[in-house]
Amino acid sequence: KSRARRARKETSTTTLDDVAGIESAKREITEIIDFLKSPEKYRRLGAVMPKGILLVGPPGTGKTLLARAIAGEADVPFFSISASEFIEMFVGVGAARVRDMFQNARKEAPALIFIDELDAVGRSRGAGLGGGHDEREQTLNQILTEMDGFEAHENILVLAATNRPDVLDTALLRPGRFDRKITLDRPHKEARQAILEVHARKVPLAPDVDLAQVAARTTGFSGADLKNLVNEAALTAARENLDQVNEHCFELARDRIILGEEREAHLTA
Ligand code: ATP
């Protein structure tokens, strides 16, 4: 039996309030949200929205989060699949999954499709070694076919995430496909503070905790790392039976995360 999985469909409850520190990306998506909410306003004016947007950035910088926030704000169904899950499928299955996903999204339009790790199938097609029979290539071709097959007025938006835009097949980037790009960088200090504030919302902080200080000491942390940091600090407080999370908890959590990452880097080196 194939390990292939169908695209997940969910109703996103994520909002722009959950996204911090990436203000320019947030500005760029406001128009897209507005379009998904009231497509007729754009159609009346003859304005055509992009079909596909590429979200580019290192792991944990909020690509999936941003896609969910668009769906949540616009209140449209969110179909998602990770392209890496196509790789081990039998020939033809990946392409069939792609076809299914687009078909389902069309039935429920306006809708948002999210393809994570696009580079897993979207790498530049080699010099014909696979002769077109390669599973990955078929899947990529199906994505291209689907992107070309729906009209801008069908109100489907396809978002795809990658941290390797450099290896993508240029066919994906042509007009009418993923012709818009939103770049997410690792957060700078103020952005880290804003992200910490989002994740500390439900955490009772002791008066000695200064999130600006925490931000200053977490250079190189991604949004995902910062989320993890807040949670680790809260777990530490629970372990010590405190009723507030204090500065010491944050210190311990930070050390644990940094050590953990060093160990991992060591193992994969
Ligand atoms: P990957 O490339 O590993 O799939 P990603 O860029 O899609 O990563 P997300 O899955 O969106 O990253 O981030 C993981 C979690 O980290 C999010 O669910 C969110 O809780 C937190 N996070 C990341 N970026 C931000 C941000 N800018 N603001 C608030 N939280 C963030």
Looking at every residue in the chain, the average pLDDT score rounds to 89
Interval between CA 61 and ligand 1 midpoint (Å): 5
- pLDDT surpassing 60 at residue 131: no
pLDDT band at 121 (very low <50, low <70, confident <90, very high): confident
Which of 92, 150, 87 shows the shortest CA–CA distance to 121?
87
Q: Is the minimum distance from the CB of 60 to ligand 1 under 6 angstroms?
A: yes
19: Cα separation from own chain's centroid:
12
Residue 13 three-state SS = coil
pLDDT digits (tens, 9 = 90+) for 240-255: 999 999 999 999 999 9
Specify the residue with its C-alpha closest to ligand 1, atom 21. 224
pTM: 0.89
pLDDT band at 126 (very low <50, low <70, confident <90, very high): low
Residue 66 three-state SS = helix
Which of 157, 163, 115 shows the shortest CA–CA distance to 140?
115
Q: Is the minimum distance from the CB of 126 to ligand 1 under 6 angstroms?
A: no
Q: Is the minimum distance from the CB of 36 to ligand 1 under 6 angstroms?
A: no
Q: Is the minimum distance from the CB of 59 to ligand 1 under 6 angstroms?
A: yes
Establish whether this prediction's ipTM goes over 0.90. Answer: yes
145: Cα separation from own chain's centroid:
23
- pLDDT surpassing 90 at residue 194: yes
Specify the residue with its C-alpha closest to ligand 1, atom 29. 19
Helix spans in the chain (H): 23-37, 39-44, 63-74, 93-107, 119-122, 135-149, 189-199, 211-216, 223-239, 247-268
Residue 88: the pLDDT is: 64
Ligand 1 pocket test, pick from 65, 116, 261 with the greatest ligand atom count within 8 Å of Cβ, gives 65
DSSP 184-232: -PPP-HHHHHHHHHHHTTTS-B-TT--HHHHHHT-TT--HHHHHHHHHH
CA 222/CA 185 separation, integer angstroms: 9
Residue 50: the pLDDT is: 87
Q: Is the minimum distance from the CB of 22 to ligand 1 under 6 angstroms?
A: yes
Which of 81, 124, 82, 84 shows the shortest CA–CA distance to 104?
81
pLDDT digits (tens, 9 = 90+) for 55-110: 999 999 999 999 999 999 999 999 999 888 877 667 778 888 899 999 999 999 89
Residue 123: the pLDDT is: 82
CA 96/CA 2 separation, integer angstroms: 13
Interval between CA 133 and ligand 1 midpoint (Å): 35
Residue 129: the pLDDT is: 52
Whether residue 110 is preceded by a cis peptide bond, meaning omega within 30 degrees of 0, is yes
CB contact set of 227 (below 8 Å; sequence gap of 6+): 195, 199
Q: Is the minimum distance from the CB of 32 to ligand 1 under 6 angstroms?
A: no
Q: Are 63 and 55 in contact (CB under 8 A)?
A: yes
Output the 3-class SS for 31-50.
Answer: HHHHHHHCHHHHHHCCCCCC
pLDDT digits (tens, 9 = 90+) for 198-237: 999 999 999 999 999 999 999 999 999 999 999 999 999 9
> Given the structure tokens 């809708």, which residue do they identify?
111
Residue 1: the pLDDT is: 38
What percent of the chain has a predicted confidence (pLDDT) above 70?
92
